[in-house]
Amino acid sequence: MLQTLVVNVLALIVTLGILVTIHEFGHFWVARKCGVKVLRFSIGFGKAVKTWVGKDGTEYVIAPIPLGGYVKMLGQDDTNAEAGSQVSEDEKHMAFNYKPLWQRFAIVAAGPIANFLLAIFVFWVINVAYGTRGISPVISHVEPDSPAWEAGLREGDEITAVDGKPVSLWQQVNLKLLDRLGESGNLMITAIPAQSRQGAVSATDNQSTETFAVAIQNWMGNTTEPNPLGSLGIVQYEIPPVIDTIVPGGRAEAGGLQSGDTVVSANGTDIRSWSHWVSMIQQSPELPLDVVVQRESELVALEIVPQATEAADATQMGRIGAGVQIYDLYNSLPAERRREVSFNPLSAIGPAMVETWDKSVFVLDSIKKMVIGLISVKNINGPITIAQVAGETASYGLEVYLGFLAILSISLGVLNLLPIPVLDGGHLLYYIIEAIIRRPVPERVQAMGLQLGLLIVGSIMVLALYNDVSRLM
């Protein structure tokens, strides 16, 4: 427990430290290029851990709380340069608010842009170092009477597009489905029916496709852990129901389940996969399950009563305290189901830019849906959740952690561009208004906007922290 906490805290400090440094360096670098005198470059909040003055005259500060930072520039506090300033005449050419409007705009926009550039760079590194690897989206199972079943999708169908957008890997299918989070209407899923796939002589044959309309209603709007395929009744692939870890004192141990057992059936129903087994457990809180497992060469009958736990949506679901055995799904599949794409340094640039754009649009769309009520505000995460995810992704390996870092950098960039006073986007809004009316926004309006912005940002931070604590309880 202590070790996990230490790892999470260190991961949080490193992750936010990187993002904040890149963001503030964007402001700093463009300000210097525009001839603005930078008084202080601070990373983190709280009492300074280290302070020094560079040869450029800038005071550099490192503080222990990595939840933000700032670049203080000469003349930046003058909300209206025309109304007078404490900046001396011989330094006005180096003062922020005496620079042309386009330069002030560029300096403020440079922070979020730096975050987007970091994401592009990280995705480029992932593409060059690891390439893209995944599994073709061939449906392993469709739950009877589920939305996908009602629409006509069946086992063996291969999904080729979601809402008209081509997909070739399961992870792409998931991302396209998440674009419809909280919405109502029809999901248009295009697939090659199993019969057509089986009748093809080779993978290059022209195989006929069909488009299926899957009905959705306020789709997963209230969930904090969306499972788009599962909610449609689609099973991506089957992982054998082999037990690995047993939680001491849990219902699995009490029922006699052991590591290495393969679950054969529950209440007379054959268990086809780990996800099927988990589904039965979740649907049976405090209800006895007559389970048959294969233990080495014999079948063993057990009775397991899943413990009732409360899900995020306040519904009851069962848990037994058991984990699945690690299974190399990718290498166990036939070659035609495995898909790999490698990139050279040049060819990796385009996909990195496209992925950054797509995820930026997704973050912005998700924010819009939260504002209008299509998605629960419980999805807003704070530093505790970020620390947990950062720690987990770091333990999964460099590729996974880098992907998380890129997504977080995109989120930071998008959030800072929102037109809320105190954020970069609020300042950019003032500059746009200034360009239209040909004079700075009145100080009184800016002061009112500052108070409103602080209220909005403060409320969001409190809500995020509340969500974090709620998840821990």
Could you read off the pLDDT of 257-302 as tens digits, one per residue?
999 999 999 999 999 888 889 989 998 999 999 999 999 889 999 9
Choice among 201-210, 318-327, 389-398, 407-416 with the minimum mean pLDDT: 201-210
Look at residue 80 and tell me whether its pLDDT is greater than 70.
Answer: no
pLDDT, one tens digit per residue, over 3-16 is: 777 777 788 888 88
Please return the burial class of 417, using the count of CB atoms within 10 Å of its CB with bins 0-12, 13-18 and 19+: buried
pLDDT of residue 204: 44
Dmax of the chain from CA atoms?
91
Look at residue 428 and tell me whether its pLDDT is greater than 60.
Answer: yes
Question: Considering 24, 286, 310, 399, which one is annotated as catalytic?
Answer: 24
Residue 394 · residue 7 · CB < 8 Å: yes
Average pLDDT over residues 18-36: 94
Look at residue 417 and tell me whether its pLDDT is greater than 50.
Answer: yes
Q: H helices of 137-256, where?
A: 147-151, 170-178, 194-199, 228-232, 251-254
3-state secondary structure of 456: helix
pLDDT of residue 201: 45
pLDDT of residue 221: 84
pLDDT of residue 83: 46
Q: Is 24 a known active-site residue?
A: yes
Average pLDDT over residues 239-247: 90
Q: What is the C-alpha to C-alpha distance for residues 98 and 104, in angstroms, rounded to an integer?
A: 9
pLDDT of residue 124: 97
Look at residue 205 and tell me whether its pLDDT is greater than 50.
Answer: yes
Look at residue 127 and tell me whether its pLDDT is greater than 80.
Answer: yes
The model's confidence at residue 202, banded by pLDDT at 50, 70 and 90, is very low
Residue 23 · residue 80 · CB < 8 Å: no
Look at residue 79 and tell me whether its pLDDT is greater than 60.
Answer: no
| Among 233, 237, 239, 238, residue whose Cα is nearest residue 170 | 237
Amino acid of residue 390: A
pLDDT, one tens digit per residue, over 142-188 is: 989 999 999 999 999 999 999 999 999 998 999 999 999 999 999 99
The average confidence (pLDDT) of the chain is 88
For the beta carbon of residue 77, count every other beta carbon within 10 angstroms.
12
Residue 62 · residue 48 · CB < 8 Å: yes
Contacts of 374 (CB under 8 A, 6+ apart): 181, 182, 183, 218, 221
pLDDT of residue 265: 94
What separation in angstroms does the CA of 263 have from each of 33, 120, 135, 141, 376?
Answer: 65, 44, 25, 18, 36
Helices (H) and strands (E) in the chain, counts: 14, 20
pLDDT, one tens digit per residue, over 95-119 is: 898 899 999 999 999 999 999 999 9
3-state secondary structure of 38: strand
Look at residue 122 and tell me whether its pLDDT is greater than 90.
Answer: yes
